[in-house]
Structure 1
Amino acid sequence: MSNNFIDYPFDQQHIWHPYTSMQHPLPVYGVASASGCELELDDGRRLVDGTSSWWSCVHGYGHPVLLEAMQTQLNTLSHVMFGGITHEPAIELAKQLVAMTPKRLTKVFYADSGSVAVEVAIKMALQYWQGRGCAQKQQIMTIKQGYHGDTFAAMSVCDPDNGMHTMFGSSVTPRLFAPAPQAGFDNGLAARDASALRALFEAHHQECAAIILEPVMQGAGAMNFYAPEYLVLVRQLCDEFEVLLIADEIATGFGRTGKLFACEHAGIEPDLMCLGKALTGGYISLAATLCSDEVADGISSSAAGVFMHGPTFMANPLACAAARASMTLIQQGTWQTQVAAIEKQLQAELAPARALSAVRDVRVLGAVGVIEMHEQVNTGLMQQGFVEHGVWVRPFDRYLYVMPPYCISAAQLTKLTSAMVEMAASKHRLRGKPAQGSPSHG
């Protein structure tokens, strides 16, 4: 039994949790500690973590390599401004990222969250075209059912119809949206998807600076997996119509879909790439936007002559040290066999859910497993049910999904999948007003 005291009344009255109402807040569960793939609640219960703390803690909790790297850095330099100053953790991490990512991505801009990395990428694209004498290229293109974060530029490229940001109306910049590809990961490029995308490029390329999308797997928008051939077409159209390609790999990067980066499923290279979440193994916030020499030269040729962005905690040394350790673990390659094993087990153990009348679809890609329901679920009731089963699974909208740490054991994963199938069959968990509980890009 943990001795940690959680002041739940104060929390409920004063602390605003993500995507919740202060009048009718969702229940919260006090976490006292975490290790490996498990969270220990303040009442002593242990939960197998199926979310990797919103997809970031891929190495598990309390990993000695990450803890040692952070402790060593904490004792020397925990933070320093990055304007006019540099330091070894930032330099060495950039070397790793340049070596790991597609060859054309040679420049690294550090940010402090995934949403900000998206903001940076969009600003880079706009400023690039100014530097190339095409200041009219101010528009951004994307596909529906996407999610890129909760800050304003990021909100503007999230799904405009069923996303979380429709209530902000005209305050959000209108963008150009192609229909979300619907063919599925293994079904190739559908003619209707290809024609709709080409039509959008043909009509708007003169005003369009870039297209941004989540490669192959759309996350918090709809947990939609689409064909790599669609991504190949996007790259071809970007080259044909002179539009930059921004790959948002914040959720998909570092092995989650079975490739180091999801772009690799299609064999293409973007002009800009956004990274976050697993970058530090989920131990501290850090993100990065990488771009090509061509993009960097265009920005540097703009009227400002410099890129106009500079977060206070940019290239935080402590975060860079954690990321270096996380990237070193990724580079060792163990994730490849781990993710392959997770994928195989998810496919086998989630398959029975397909027979349930309440289930619309079951799909698996890499270390991602999704049960899509026909109707929205009640997040609060579902959350309670999962905790009763000894697991932490955070459903949203119609989706019960897991994206566990790569180091999860087969027994722990079975506990997750069994709970998912059982909860999908438990119709009383679907009753009541659906509550919000979407994943975050922060």
Structure 2
Amino acid sequence: MTDETTPDLPLIWLPYTQMKDAPAPLVAQRTEGTRIHLEDGRVLVDGIASWWTACHGYNHPHIRARLTTQLDLMPHVMLGGLVHEPVRELSTRLASLLPGDLDHCFYTDSGSVAVEVAMKMAIQYWINRGVTGRTKLLSFRDGYHGDTLATMSVCDPEEGMHSLFAGVFPEQVIADLPRDEAGLDSLDDLLSRRGYQIAAIIVEPLVQGAGGMIFHAPEVLVRLRELADRHDVLLILDEIFTGFGRTGTMFACEQAGIVPDIITLSKALTGGTIALAATVARRHVFEAFLSDAPGAALMHGPTFMANALACTAACASLDLFAREPRLAQIAALSSGLKSGLEPCRALPGVRDVRVLGAIGVVELDQIEDMTRLKAALIALGVWVRPYRTILYLTPAFTITPEDLSLLTGAVTQVIRDGAFRKIA
């Protein structure tokens, strides 16, 4: 039986897509470096590294070699009562890379679930310490932390993807991200009034990604850390997008010189090969779960938690960060994004152009015809996925200057041609 409303689509429910009138998706046949080879023979330069994951480019031989060896040994074994060398290696290496005493790693297989676990940790932290009533998270407008039910509750409540579920998930405390002294005073006052309800503050450091690639200064994070300490609440940094070099440092929090109580990692963790996520807690958070009472344990355990292949891929990715000049490449990439996208600033319909690390953003006044815009980009040989009013580039750190110029040139051309507007 087939779905007659989408005769050109396979029997796959695509993400973020109205399936009734969705155009047929492109069929990817293979990947190589920063290129996607399609079944019909076309080749696209990937401008977003498969949702920011393929930071070293596709099919890196070192990651592939380590995966091949691990596949022969053991692709997976349950973590319940067992451990294995890849998870021991990865945990040791993450603890050595992360700031401060972020050294207890809990593994899941998606960013949303990593945030769910962080929320669960934060709430149970207070329960285990005998503190009642701290059951809410404080998050920020324009924030995004995932599509599962609990994570939707800490996303922007007005954001279109999740507004249908208002009233379904628990009500959290949503505030404006404080960008000046008035905003900080307002947040300080909110925490003074409602801190007794709040288990943790959660924020995307430096960049609110899916909310519109909105940047904020490292000083904002410094003040959030100060406020969290003043009001005795935990601080969770969601580095699923920003971690592993995307903002110019290995982790975004390094630019603020702060240590969160809990950090979430995914996306580029395995270099874009296999799903893996980590929720890493500081020692004092972990120790709140140590008890003679069995019920004080963290009762969570995904079936494929710390999958051996995925942990191996993550270790191989960390090898590349250690052996190859990734941060220098990111700095050069950042410079190329700035020079390549700057001409857009003078074009009609452009509201802003901004770059941070390996993130380049052109914000438009509006995108009237998203389908036309995406088709125009593909016709120019690039794979870029604009959303809302944003055309953004987050390519692999290993992209060549030639391919980067192709990407920035394509973005500039579609804006100059008005491909984001409806044809009258």
Q: Which of the residues 12, 16, 20 maps onto 1:19? A: 16
How far, CA to CA, are the matches of 1:398 and 1:377 in structure 2? Answer: 9
How far, CA to CA, are the matches of 1:284 and 1:163 in structure 2? Answer: 29
**Structure 1 counterpart of 2:303, one-letter code:** T
Where 1:427 maps in the other structure, the secondary structure is: coil
**How far did residue 45 of structure 1 move?**
1.1
Unaligned runs of 5+ in 1: 1-8, 182-188, 433-442
Aligned residue for 1:267? 257
Rate the CA distance shift 1:224–1:287 in 2: closer, same or farther, 3 A. same
Q: Which of the residues 183, 188, 207 maps onto 1:198? A: 188
What does 1:353-432 align with in structure 2 at a 5 Å threshold?
A: 353-431=344-422
Aligned residue for 1:342? 333
TM-score by length of 2: 0.96
How far, CA to CA, are the matches of 1:308 and 1:426 in structure 2? Answer: 55
How far, CA to CA, are the matches of 2:121 and 2:325 in structure 1? Answer: 34
**Structure 2 counterpart of 1:17, one-letter code:** L
Aligned residue for 1:228? 218
Where 1:369 maps in the other structure, the secondary structure is: strand
How far, CA to CA, are the matches of 2:111 and 2:401 in structure 1? Answer: 30
**Structure 2 counterpart of 1:102, one-letter code:** P
How far, CA to CA, are the matches of 1:26 and 1:209 in structure 2? Answer: 44
Q: Give CA-to-partner distance per residue, 1:149-206, whole Å, 9 cap, x none.
A: 100111111111134201112112211111135xxxxxxx522322222122112111
Q: Give CA-to-partner distance per residue, 1:353-385, whole Å, 9 cap, x none.
A: 111120111100000000001113533222111
How far, CA to CA, are the matches of 2:275 and 2:260 in structure 1? Answer: 24
Aligned residue for 2:3? none
**Structure 2 counterpart of 1:222, one-letter code:** G
The root-mean-square deviation of aligned C-alpha atoms, in Å, is 1.4
CA contact (8 A) 2:373 2:419 kept: no
**Structure 1 counterpart of 2:384, one-letter code:** V
How far, CA to CA, are the matches of 1:341 and 1:314 in structure 2? Answer: 36
**Structure 2 counterpart of 1:404, one-letter code:** P
Q: Give CA-to-partner distance per residue, 1:312-358, whole Å, 9 cap, x none.
A: 00000010111110011112351111100011111111111111120
Aligned residue for 1:215? 205
How far, CA to CA, are the matches of 1:25 and 1:168 in structure 2? Answer: 23
CA contact (8 A) 1:111 1:117 kept: yes
The answer to whether structure 1 residue 111 and structure 2 residue 111 are counterparts is: no
**How far did residue 428 of structure 1 move?**
4.1
Aligned residue for 2:35? 38
Aligned residue for 1:102? 99
Aligned residue pairs: how many? Answer: 417
What does 1:243-392 align with in structure 2 at a 5 Å threshold?
A: 243-301=233-291, 304-332=295-323, 334-392=325-383
How far, CA to CA, are the matches of 1:258 and 1:333 in structure 2? Answer: 15
How far, CA to CA, are the matches of 1:11 and 1:107 in structure 2? Answer: 47
The answer to whether structure 1 residue 129 and structure 2 residue 126 are counterparts is: yes
Where 1:107 maps in the other structure, the secondary structure is: strand
TM-score by length of 1: 0.92
What does 1:170-189 align with in structure 2 at a 5 Å threshold?
A: 170-181=167-178, 189=179
CA contact (8 A) 1:13 1:22 kept: no
**Structure 2 counterpart of 1:426, one-letter code:** D
Where 2:77 maps in the other structure, the secondary structure is: coil
Rate the CA distance shift 1:28–1:275 in 2: closer, same or farther, 3 A. same
How far, CA to CA, are the matches of 1:380 and 1:44 in structure 2? Answer: 22
**Structure 2 counterpart of 1:276, one-letter code:** S
How far, CA to CA, are the matches of 1:201 and 1:173 in structure 2? Answer: 19
Rate the CA distance shift 1:27–1:371 in 2: closer, same or farther, 3 A. farther
The answer to whether structure 1 residue 29 and structure 2 residue 26 are counterparts is: yes
Where 1:338 maps in the other structure, the secondary structure is: helix
CA contact (8 A) 1:36 1:63 kept: yes
Q: Which of the residues 60, 68, 73 maps onto 1:71? A: 68
How far, CA to CA, are the matches of 1:174 and 1:258 in structure 2? Answer: 35
How far, CA to CA, are the matches of 2:83 and 2:8 in structure 1? Answer: 39
Where 1:206 maps in the other structure, the secondary structure is: helix
Q: Give CA-to-partner distance per residue, 1:77-135, whole Å, 9 cap, x none.
A: 01111101110000001011000001220100010110110000000001100011112
Where 1:299 maps in the other structure, the secondary structure is: coil
Rate the CA distance shift 1:22–1:163 in 2: closer, same or farther, 3 A. closer
Aligned residue for 2:59? 62
CA contact (8 A) 2:54 2:268 kept: yes
